[in-house]
Structure 1
Amino acid sequence: MLDTILRAVGVFGASDSLLFKTPISPWLIVLIGVGLVGLVAYVYRRTIVTVSPGMRYTLIGLKTLAIVLLVVCLLEPVALNSEVTPQQGFLLVLFDDSKSMSIQDGSGTSSRIDAVKRVFSEQALLETFGKRFKVRGFRFSSVTERLGDISELTAEGDATDIAGALDQAAGEFRDMPLAGIVLVSDGGDNASPGSGALTGATDYLKSQKVPVFSVGVGGNRIAKDIEILKVATSKTLTTGSITDLYVTIKSSGYEGRAVDLEIREGARLVRTENIRLGKDGDTQRIKLALSPVSPGIFEYTAEIRLQNWEMIVENNQRRFIIDNRAKTGRILYVEGYPRKEFKFIRRALEDDPRLKAVSMVRISPEGRLYRQGIQDVSELQEGYPRTRRELFTYDAIIFGDVEAAWFAPEQLKMTEEFVSVRGGGFLMLGGDQAFSEGGYAGTPIEDALPVRLLGGSGAWGSGVTDRSFRLQLTAEGLTHPLTQLGETPEENQQNWNNLPELIGYNRVGVSKPGATVLAVDPTTDALEGSNTILALQRYGRGRSMAITTASSWHWQMLMPSENRSHERFWQQMARWLALSTPGQVTVTLDKESYGEKEAVTITGGVFDETYAPVNEAVVYAHVTGPTGQTESVPLEWTFGEAGVYRAKYQPKMGGMHQVEVSVQSPESITARDQAGFGVATSIAEFTDPTLQNDVLKRLAESTGGVYVPLDQASQLPERIPAVKQMASTTRERDLRDTPPLFFAVVLILGLEWF
């Protein structure tokens, strides 16, 4: 009714709506107004002037109307008017500004970023987009920021984060009508490889119906380039601290050329290998041996010098870390009787300064034990350890020809936990009382082994064969560091071929998922895995191995005394079992080489003597830089991860850094652990630097957009559909001081005098 009165006096439009903005309670004002109306009615009923009833009611009505209008003014009325108008859609243009865009793989000496500037400038693409859309520009590398003009592109970013760029740009315009996103890039998304971030960004844009129109920049092939893709190391498994390096190389334009592969420790050249490059686009895996001179953690560089006409120099080298700390692994070796296999294995372990063999051998039916390598008379005095605190002091355990019944069930379970919880290594050797024949099927030991046991869960039978056979390496065994008896593949195979035959082994079941079989008996069909001789796996935090024969001593007794194959084999097995076992304090880094602006994630682990995680420790990482200056960084406990502490560290300079993690509280934990990392100019942008058009095509197709190469970018304006959205605009108009309302009140009050 009120809006009808206001329209009648001409202060309210037909499409307006009414809103009162007074901070005072409207009901109080209305109550006052009702009181005034009542007072007016009372006064007019008692007037001394004689008037007709009709006139009296007319005067009361006029006064009431005036009071109503005044009360409305006190309520601070405003008229709201909404208008719906069409609005243009936004088009976001994202330019890749990372270092890979500086590669000159275009015509002449033009870089990728120069080609982008030329195409977008000559064809006035941004201006053309602006005729149909509201255009907003961004540039991105490891970070994303607004772009004022295309001339600001520099191609200096250390990484390419396509997912982050899409997320940030789309997030800024979440509530706006988006016609789409134009992504101009070579597709080298390397900020978070394997994280699934790009898939997540794609799924989000698809759900919001925001298409991506990708523009591919660069060539599918670099005409002249040599790239070191990866360097893998064997972590000094072999004797004499020899580290096997596996260098993966990819080249184009230099097929058959002989080049030198140089290995440097810091600035010192330590190894040169002349290699011949393969076919264009093929990858080569080069193996070479390296002997670190000093114990410790060192940064090395693998490099091939720049060749004539080579287009990219940054990817000719790769930095890597070698951990050659002088750690000694303590191995507990348990045998059921003093057999030849025990004698020669123990002798091989004693020859390795990085291994400490502690053995216990049953020498009588009554269970008398012969102990060797013990630290004091109390060690193993009561036989096999009965507490975690005692057992977990070792780094690896070997079970020889000893039956499961000789151990208490609690000891077998504790041994399984030694591997899964402690992170130790476990090996079971062949024998008459080993594997199924020793009653281990269905015990916790079978859970830890890399093979299923016959007579156990899922097995089909049992038996020990006494056949003679020559051990044969599997495809995995030919390249695995554990089974390398030579410096080259040819020498390795020849050394294996020269070894005498073995006699007998325990038949076992199939290898478990995730296990690796390195050697078999080639004279027997691999029925249910029954010809397995050597298998291994990761189990929990640790490692386990099965060697089903007990005749490797033939490799010592039947070979010339100068032949060291037996010793090398067993020392490599034992190092794999023992030297990777973690201590009570551990440190890991998210990677070993960082760019100059990258933060290092340091993760520490803290455990008590039984290797239960400790959550209330005071933990520090001490980072020593190239100048020798040390900086202490507190690590914070990570909620939800027992015994895990983390911190971010920003290096101040390039070069090799050492990290040592220690515990200040509780004081009973005195262990420390070390790691190392290098800081240098990142080469991530020059790793596989060709145009990744598959990435860009998938991104466009998944979101409903299209992919075009840069030379066809002029097609984009007509291929991006216009998106218009109706936008609502609301305007307020104060009604208290409008002339019609003022004159209406004056007129109503003045009528009484006529």
Structure 2
Amino acid sequence: MADLARRRAGVNLGAVVILSDFNQNAGPPPLQAAETLGVPLFTVGLGPAVTADIAVELQLPPLLKKDERSVLTAVVRHEGYDGQTVRVAFAARRVSADPTVTASETPLGERTVVLDAPSVDVTLPIEPHEAGHFEFIAQVDPLPGETVVENNRSVRDNYVREYYLRLLFAEYEPTWEWRFVKEVFHRDRLVGEQGFRTYLRSADLSVRRQNPLFLETLALPRSEFFSYDVLILGDMPEAALTSSFCEMTREFVADMGGGLVVLAGPRFGAGRLMNTPLGDMLPVQLGPHSQIRQARPFRLRRTAEADLYDFMQLGDNPLENDQAWLNLGPLAWYQPVERLRPMATALAVHPTDKCLDGVTPQPIIAVTNYGKGEVVYIGFNELWRLRRKYGELYYRRFWGQLIHRLALRHALGTQKRFVVRSDRKEYKAGDTAVLTVEAYDADYRPLADDLAGGTLEGRLVSGDSMRPLRLAMVRPGLFQTRSPVSAAGEYRLQVRDPITGDWAESRFLVQSRSVEKQVASRNLELQRRLAETTGGRAYELQDFEQLIDELPAGSKTETNVQEIPVWNTWPVFVAVVGLLFGEWFFRKRANLA
């Protein structure tokens, strides 16, 4: 329609008849193009308006770790199969570096579900025992009457990684929270002895020097500081938080996507952070000299937003979750704040106390985004009380899910310093991919022009084809290019790290399936809106003869303006000849000729 609108100049168009299933493949929005055309549209529908169809879409967690439990989710959507039972099968296949080698699929499990809603979520817990690049598959069996079966299978790729998270806990003295967090993560397979380090200000210097678990100082080299994934900041005095530490922490969260947890304590109080650059990072505003409040014990109250955060879900169901949080018991004190910052979210609040505005409940647990990372504020340091009756079950679940969430924003392994990304994980053939690299040097400073030469060397690999790329520097630390992707298949974006010489890689998928193969039914709503918006009418194919009779037949008056030179007309010719004849006649009578 947009093309017709451009070509109709000078054409007296009375109406347009469109025969289609009205499922759009590409191009501008149809309604916008119809308005530009400016004539009535008479739409004739091809294909059934309602069909029997079932489709599956596989959703993967963003992070899969070897020997750690993860959950695959298959979203099954259907039309016309209410109440029927279907089998959903899950499988995995290792992706070989050699594109000519295709591994066989390994079944992971299957689920049988009843289609009692238009969309049904089917989950399968898995525990990968091998690291590497894998394709995960979800598939539903075809049902009688299906016209399109291409959407019965969904394939997604991801990496199963073998790594450990790096966690730094800074505290002044060995509180109960510090002791139990240290025990939990020191034995945790995701962190372990290699991943957990602590700085304990009050510890003897010889202990800090000899025990590999302890850091001697917080004045770490940048290369070591930025290798951590999450920082936990306990009840530390202001004097221990140097400007260098605070600035690196701000850069770690805002620029590198790291996670920061701030635990309020009764000795120094969290208000001391407001006198440091860390104060602006918190989700709450504190008074710089505010003291803890311990007038009467209270039970914290979870907010409705807490249901959206996995680390606030301690039980497998709402009843168990309530029971787990009740197990925390009454709290004797908390750190009051002046207000909750804009864009921050309170996940747990005081049941009665308010902020300075007299309306907002005092936040006890709050979270906010800060740059590329996230900051969590906990207004007390007695979460260890969750261990009562149930041991580490709920305590480990809270801290494990919190650290896991914060670490997800931080790129993994050596990619913390050199991160290759595409703007999407899936494209359609003909799209343009935006390819970026966030690059830092060995000290985690943004890679500058003098090191990278203004561009990075890259290549885009798909099957047997390889296309060289140059990624130009947008600003120090960020390099970017755009590349069209015309053929379907899996693409590997590889960029050479100028510091190590190694190739870093990111993958994405280009799909070629058209709408016709994904949607079996006609878009009846769009068909009707196109007709109604333009003053036309919608028809079924069997009513086509009726359409012929109802097309507008009224005549239109056309005005055509033509410019004709005056000297080239008959009246002017006759006038000129008449004048010449008249002159000759009068001169003859006067005997002048």
Normalised by the size of structure 2, how large is the TM-score?
0.74
How far, CA to CA, are the matches of 1:603 and 1:617 in structure 2? 16
How far, CA to CA, are the matches of 2:254 and 2:119 in structure 1? 37
Tell me: CA distance 1:651–1:177, structure 2 relative to 1, closer, same or farther (3 Å): closer
Aligned ranges for residues 45-60 of structure 1 at < 5 Å?
Answer: none
Q: Give the alignment partner of residue 337 of structure 1, picking from 143, 159, 173.
A: 173
How far, CA to CA, are the matches of 1:256 and 1:701 in structure 2? 36
How far, CA to CA, are the matches of 2:362 and 2:567 in structure 1? 94
Tell me: CA distance 1:272–1:191, structure 2 relative to 1, closer, same or farther (3 Å): farther
* Structure 1 residue 337 displacement after superposition: 1.8
* Structure 1 residue 363 displacement after superposition: 0.4
Matched with 1:540 is 371
Matched with 1:256 is 83
What is the DSSP-based 3-state SS (H/G/I as helix, E as strand, rest coil) of the residue aligned with 1:572? helix
Tell me: CA distance 1:177–1:288, structure 2 relative to 1, closer, same or farther (3 Å): same
Decide whether the 8 Å contact of 2:72 with 2:126 is kept in 1: yes
Q: Which amino acid aligns with 1:422?
A: M
Decide whether the 8 Å contact of 2:284 with 2:366 is kept in 1: no
Tell me: CA distance 1:437–1:618, structure 2 relative to 1, closer, same or farther (3 Å): closer
What is the DSSP-based 3-state SS (H/G/I as helix, E as strand, rest coil) of the residue aligned with 1:255? coil
What is the DSSP-based 3-state SS (H/G/I as helix, E as strand, rest coil) of the residue aligned with 1:285? strand
Matched with 1:453 is 285
Decide whether the 8 Å contact of 1:357 with 1:373 is kept in 2: no
Matched with 1:80 is none
Decide whether the 8 Å contact of 2:458 with 2:471 is kept in 1: no
1:564-612 Cα offsets, whole Å, 9 max, x none, are 44334323322222243143322223433456x4557251223333443
Q: Does 1:424 align with 2:258?
A: yes
Matched with 1:293 is 129
Decide whether the 8 Å contact of 2:167 with 2:231 is kept in 1: yes
Matched with 2:586 is none
* Structure 1 residue 263 displacement after superposition: 1.4
How far, CA to CA, are the matches of 1:706 and 1:461 in structure 2? 72
Q: Give the alignment partner of residue 307 of structure 1, picking from 143, 157, 160.
A: 143
How far, CA to CA, are the matches of 1:271 and 1:168 in structure 2? 50
Q: Does 1:358 align with 2:228?
A: no
Decide whether the 8 Å contact of 2:257 with 2:373 is kept in 1: yes
Q: Give the alignment partner of residue 607 of structure 1, picking from 423, 436, 439.
A: 439
Q: Which amino acid aligns with 2:285?
A: L
Q: Does 1:588 align with 2:418?
A: no
* Structure 1 residue 669 displacement after superposition: 6.1
1:67-118 Cα offsets, whole Å, 9 max, x none, are xxxxxxxxxxxxxxxxxxxxxxxxxxxxxxxxxxxxxxxxxxxxxxxxxxxx
Q: Give the alignment partner of residue 455 of structure 2, picking from 618, 621, 631.
A: 618
How far, CA to CA, are the matches of 1:720 and 1:286 in structure 2? 56
Q: Give the alignment partner of residue 710 of structure 1, picking from 522, 537, 540.
A: 540
Decide whether the 8 Å contact of 2:291 with 2:335 is kept in 1: no
How far, CA to CA, are the matches of 1:515 and 1:698 in structure 2? 41
1:279-328 Cα offsets, whole Å, 9 max, x none, are 35x32233332223322332212221112333432222222233323344
Tell me: CA distance 1:687–1:509, structure 2 relative to 1, closer, same or farther (3 Å): farther
The structure whose Rg is larger is 1
How far, CA to CA, are the matches of 1:187 and 1:515 in structure 2? 43
1:671-712 Cα offsets, whole Å, 9 max, x none, are 75433334565265455654444445555555x444514355
Matched with 2:272 is 439
How far, CA to CA, are the matches of 1:550 and 1:539 in structure 2? 22
* Structure 1 residue 407 displacement after superposition: 2.2
Q: Give the alignment partner of residue 501 of structure 1, picking from 329, 351, 365.
A: 329
How far, CA to CA, are the matches of 1:642 and 1:191 in structure 2? 35
Decide whether the 8 Å contact of 1:239 with 1:352 is kept in 2: no
Aligned ranges for residues 23-172 of structure 1 at < 5 Å?
Answer: 166-172=1-7
Q: Give the alignment partner of residue 279 of structure 1, picking from 116, 132, 136.
A: 116
Aligned ranges for residues 389-408 of structure 1 at < 5 Å?
Answer: 391-404=225-238, 406-408=240-242
**Gapped regions of structure 1 (runs ≥ 5):** 1-165, 748-753
* Structure 1 residue 502 displacement after superposition: 6.6
Matched with 1:14 is none
Mean alpha-carbon deviation: is it higher for 256-265 or for 548-557?
A: 548-557
Decide whether the 8 Å contact of 2:325 with 2:386 is kept in 1: no
Matched with 2:478 is 643
Decide whether the 8 Å contact of 2:142 with 2:152 is kept in 1: yes
Decide whether the 8 Å contact of 2:286 with 2:339 is kept in 1: no
How far, CA to CA, are the matches of 2:322 and 2:136 in structure 1? 31
Decide whether the 8 Å contact of 1:462 with 1:508 is kept in 2: no
* Structure 1 residue 184 displacement after superposition: 4.0
How far, CA to CA, are the matches of 1:732 and 1:369 in structure 2? 108
Matched with 2:74 is 247
1:27-55 Cα offsets, whole Å, 9 max, x none, are xxxxxxxxxxxxxxxxxxxxxxxxxxxxx
Q: Which amino acid aligns with 1:577?
A: L
| Identical aligned residues as a percent | 21
How far, CA to CA, are the matches of 1:217 and 1:351 in structure 2? 63
Q: Which amino acid aligns with 1:338?
A: P
How far, CA to CA, are the matches of 2:106 and 2:80 in structure 1? 27
Decide whether the 8 Å contact of 1:315 with 1:687 is kept in 2: yes
Q: Give the alignment partner of residue 566 of structure 1, picking from 388, 395, 400.
A: 395
Tell me: CA distance 1:184–1:453, structure 2 relative to 1, closer, same or farther (3 Å): farther
* Structure 1 residue 634 displacement after superposition: 0.8
Tell me: CA distance 1:632–1:681, structure 2 relative to 1, closer, same or farther (3 Å): closer
Tell me: CA distance 1:260–1:268, structure 2 relative to 1, closer, same or farther (3 Å): same
Q: Which amino acid aligns with 2:139?
A: E
1:533-587 Cα offsets, whole Å, 9 max, x none, are 4443433222222233322223346534xx5443343233222222431433222
Tell me: CA distance 1:437–1:297, structure 2 relative to 1, closer, same or farther (3 Å): same
Matched with 1:677 is 508
How far, CA to CA, are the matches of 2:196 and 2:553 in structure 1? 72
Matched with 2:583 is none
Tell me: CA distance 1:437–1:590, structure 2 relative to 1, closer, same or farther (3 Å): closer
How far, CA to CA, are the matches of 1:186 and 1:405 in structure 2? 70
Normalised by the size of structure 1, how large is the TM-score?
0.60
Decide whether the 8 Å contact of 1:620 with 1:662 is kept in 2: yes
Tell me: CA distance 1:636–1:397, structure 2 relative to 1, closer, same or farther (3 Å): same
Decide whether the 8 Å contact of 1:620 with 1:632 is kept in 2: no
Q: Which amino acid aligns with 1:578?
A: A
Q: Which amino acid aligns with 1:317?
A: R
Aligned ranges for residues 204-283 of structure 1 at < 5 Å?
Answer: 206=35, 209=38, 214-222=43-51, 224-228=52-56, 230-236=57-63, 240-266=67-93, 267-279=104-116, 282-283=118-119
Decide whether the 8 Å contact of 2:65 with 2:161 is kept in 1: no
1:710-743 Cα offsets, whole Å, 9 max, x none, are 35564485359876654556799999xxxx9xxx
Decide whether the 8 Å contact of 1:465 with 1:505 is kept in 2: no
Matched with 2:101 is none
* Structure 1 residue 498 displacement after superposition: 8.4
Q: Which amino acid aligns with 1:439?
A: R
Tell me: CA distance 1:363–1:179, structure 2 relative to 1, closer, same or farther (3 Å): farther
Decide whether the 8 Å contact of 2:24 with 2:515 is kept in 1: no
- What's the C-alpha RMSD, in Å, of the aligned pairs? 4.7
Q: Which amino acid aligns with 2:137?
A: T
How far, CA to CA, are the matches of 1:372 and 1:174 in structure 2? 85
Decide whether the 8 Å contact of 1:180 with 1:720 is kept in 2: no
Aligned ranges for residues 647-726 of structure 1 at < 5 Å?
Answer: 647-648=482-483, 650=485, 654=489, 657-663=491-497, 667-668=498-499, 673-678=504-509, 682=513, 684-685=515-516, 687=518, 689-699=520-530, 704-711=534-541, 714-715=546-547, 718=551, 726=559
Tell me: CA distance 1:204–1:463, structure 2 relative to 1, closer, same or farther (3 Å): farther
Q: Which amino acid aligns with 2:75?
A: T
How far, CA to CA, are the matches of 2:200 and 2:507 in structure 1? 41
